[in-house]
Amino acid sequence: MRKLAAGNWKMNGLAANLAEIETLVAEHGDAACDVLICPPATLLAPMAATAAGKIELGGQDCHAKTSGAHTGDISAAMLKDAGATSVILGHSERRADHGESDADVAAKSLAAYEAGLIAVICIGETEAERDAGTTLDVTGTQLAGSVPDTATAANTVIAYEPVWAIGTGRTPTLEQIAEVHDFMRDTLAKRFGEEAKGMRLLYGGSVKPSNATEIFAVSNVDGALVGGASLKAADFGAIISAL
């Protein structure tokens, strides 16, 4: 399986930041893993010109409908049209800020498949849920509800992102990451059989150059979804090199 280093720029990035992509393409355009950057939608088209097929681009959300009266929203086909190959769905910031449910994420994932995009579906427990010992219950419920029945290794990537580790500088222990990733693989295998072996499982939450190597060595970790450290080509490049 080809590993994946995915960067989520969140609501960061202006035209001036396209230079980071030029550096990434120059230094990691032939990386041994797939490299995906998900910028704000405003930068997709200019970034596509710079990425020149050397790195993949993705959106950070899409609407479940293909078009229509949905002011401020963006469709999967629009992302594809602007140069995206993937879209992040169900990020905890979307779930918290916009009240997205597992059913919403599943509907958006179907829209992504319909447009020919890979859905990068995010799940993860809050700190209170981890402290209560319900991490596997919570992530299991999210997996069951957010991942459509038509998911395949080609159209779906799952990102395990503990909410308490996002942007905090805190990470789970390697044993805790392994426990959830092994659980995700087993759960997906029960539902999707052999296909589950090829589904890439990313870890996300405060990944940085200094911890990437040890996290990538954990069982069933097939790459990372990186927020803050994806904004600078030097940091993200070091994470790509660790994969």
So which residues are the catalytic ones?
91, 161
Residue-by-residue DSSP string for 92-122 = HHHHHHS---HHHHHHHHHHHHHHTPEEEEE
Work out how close the CB of 228 gets to ligand PEP at its nearest, in angstroms, rounded to a whole number: 4
8 is in an annotated binding site: yes
Closest approach of ligand PEP to the CB of residue 224, in Å: 8
For 26, counting Cβ atoms within 10 Å of its Cβ (0-12 exposed, 13-18 middle, 19+ buried), the class is exposed
12 annotated among ligand-binding-site residues: no
Instruction: Please choose, from the candidates 147, 139, 155, the residue with its C-alpha nearest in 3D space to the C-alpha of residue 191.
Output: 147
Closest CB to ligand PEP among residues 32, 96: 96
List of residues contacting ligand PEP (CB under 6 A): 8, 10, 161, 166-167, 204-207, 225-229
CA separation for the pair 173, 119 (Å, rounded): 27
Closer to ligand PEP at the Cβ: 55 or 166? 166
Phi, psi for residue 40 in degrees, rounded to 5:
-60, 150
Which residues are paired to 159 by β-bridges?
122, 202
Q: Does 167 show up as a binding residue in the annotation?
A: yes
Residues 6+ apart with CB under 8 A from 231: 7, 9, 12, 13, 17, 20
User: Does 206 show up as a binding residue in the annotation?
Assistant: yes
Query: Could you give the residue ranges of the DSSP H alpha helices within 173-224?
Result: 174-192, 209-216
In DSSP terms, 202 is beta-bridged to: 159
Nearer to ligand PEP, 160 or 192 (CB): 160
Q: How far is the CB of 21 from ligand PEP (least distance, A)?
A: 18
Q: Does 75 count as an annotated binding residue?
A: no
With respect to ligand PEP, which residue has the nearer C-beta, 148 or 204? Answer: 204
Ranked by CB distance to ligand PEP, the top (closest) residue is 227
Report in angstroms how near the CB of residue 167 gets to ligand PEP at its nearest: 4
Q: Binding site: what residues are annotated?
A: 8-10, 167, 206, 227-228
Q: Binding site for substrate: what residues are annotated?
A: 8-10, 167, 206, 227-228
